[in-house]
Amino acid sequence: MDKPYKIPRSVLVVIHTPALEVLLIERADKPGFWQSVTGSLDREDEALDVTARREVAEETGITGGTLCDWAMQNVYEIYPVWRHRYAPGVTRNTEQVFGLTVPAATPVTLNPREHLAYQWLPWPQAAERCFSSSNAEAIRQLPQHLPKGPLW
């Protein structure tokens, strides 16, 4: 059976502590490329917040925290090298941005097929370290998207 096409809808999740330390993970397929958690919907009817929680758990092992939809979207061109994963003619992806606030010292367990290392950085340094300009811009927006009220 053929593998189904990827859905051109995804999430970007900026994981951070209340002190605005941001978790970055290094891609296994591109060493030296650091990013936040990203991932596509598994099904057309999968809710974006469910996708965000699933991808965070799969990529970092983190299952808790306060998830907040930042009501921000990035639309970007899918790299030609990856277009074969999508239906013919699909060239753009729409990415919904979320923030996930977790306690300081939250343990991280990487999926070694996807990521090599992780680091917690103050948000300005994390933004500088990202290879993706849209990821960097999302991190720069972090201070404006802090959750209100008690976190846990």
- Would you state the pLDDT for residue 82? 87
- 9-145 has which CATH code? 3.90.79.10
pTM of the model: 0.93
Summarised one tens digit per residue, pLDDT across range 96-125 is 999 999 999 999 999 999 999 999 999 999
Phi, psi (5° rounding) for residue 77?
A: -75, 130
Instruction: Parse the chain into domains and list their residue ranges.
Output: 9-145
23-40 residue pLDDT tens: 999 999 999 999 999 999
Mean pLDDT value of segment 131-151: 85
